[in-house]
Amino acid sequence: MAAEGAHVVCLDRPEDDGPASQIARKIGGSVLLADVSDPEAPGSIARALKEQHGGVDIVVHNAGVTRDKTLARMKQALWDQAIDINLAAVERITAELLKGTLRDGGRVVNLSSIAGIAGNVGQTNYAASKSGVVGLTKFLAKQVADRGITVNAIAPGFIETRLTAAIPVVIREAGRRMSALGQGGQPEDVGQAINFLCTPAAAGVTGNIIRVCGGALIGA
């Protein structure tokens, strides 16, 4: 997006400021520090964007966590954390931004997951949260259509990220082999899909879930 001329605001937790600041400097963007699980975060994010930039045209919800356990071993706190960060925070922040920070004709892109479409053993909480993102995306697309705002979601398959690097190696390899391409995807694959949805060329695309999964769900 920065290459296309957008000023990118990188949001990250205060304790993780380092990587966000490095990225912002590299692309000529800026940093906004907030913990999306904080009930006060939506208001502080909206105020900062309004005061510093006059508003926002594009919102990409890409914060997420995994707290993997089988359902029988799932503690309530693990369930709640995945639902809160992956789903509830998306709704809270979007609702606040729609009150006057997100401009008409804007774009909202949510990050779902193939797990939210097909499920995944040991990821009941994660899959439930990402399935919720699918439903939220479709609902919001209808709600804001009269303002010319589009709302879509990306559903990545197995992507080689810091998050997936924490998964045991055997499970990681299984994730790669689920793809028809026989390999894990790259963050750039997801980034290019997000970028397209934020361009004028995608003005007629809304309420859609785009799978970036290397064919892991061909025909689904």
Q: Are 198 and 58 in contact (CB under 8 A)?
A: yes
User: What letter does residue 19 receive in the DSSP assignment?
Assistant: H
One DSSP character per residue, 174-202 reads: HHHHHSTTSS-B-HHHHHHHHHHHTSGGG
Residue 13: HSE in the Cβ half-sphere, 13 Å Cα cutoff: 10
Report the distance separating Cα 20 and Cα 63, nearest Å: 13
- What are the catalytic residues? 126
Nearest to 183 by CA among 196, 155, 164: 164
Gap between the Cα atoms of 64 and 90, Å rounded:
10
Q: Which residues does residue 151 pair with via DSSP β-bridges, in sequence order?
A: 108
Angle at 176 between CA 173 and CA 179, to 5 degrees: 150
Structure tokens at 89: 């925070």
